[in-house]
Amino acid sequence: MSLEPKQIARVAHEANRALTQILKDVPLQPSWDEAPEDMVRSSVQGVRMEHPRAPASQQHEEWMKNKIADGWVLGEKRDAEKKTHPALIPYEHLDAGVQMKDKVFTTIVLAMTQ
């Protein structure tokens, strides 16, 4: 069975949403159906990453490059209008919860693209 990148992104997003409900140091993500277009696009980009077997740290670096290229900057909170995001920092400086979200995302993508 071959799934579209957007379908895989939806599964990974919803898994991360469930994780954010459990972790208190990670802001709650909206559901896929309520997610802003830039968040959906970013998730689909993560699925389409050139090296799906790359570790979460490398996936994060690629995500950061895409965000920065799109005009996003480091900010205290995620704000699509101002294009600010608190995770625009090196992977090793991310909170453990955010690192876990990255690992969950990459694991789901790898499992669903094999």
Rounded to an integer, what distance in angstroms lies between the CA atom of residue 114 and that of residue 64? 25
Provide the domain limits for residue 64.
Answer: 5-113
Q: For residue 49, what pLDDT is reported?
A: 83
How far is Cα 111 from Cα 100, in angstroms, rounded to an integer? Answer: 16
Below-70 pLDDT ranges, the chain: 1
Q: Which amino acid is located at 102 in the chain? A: D
* Number of domains, the chain: 1
Q: How confident is the model at residue 17, as a pLDDT?
A: 94
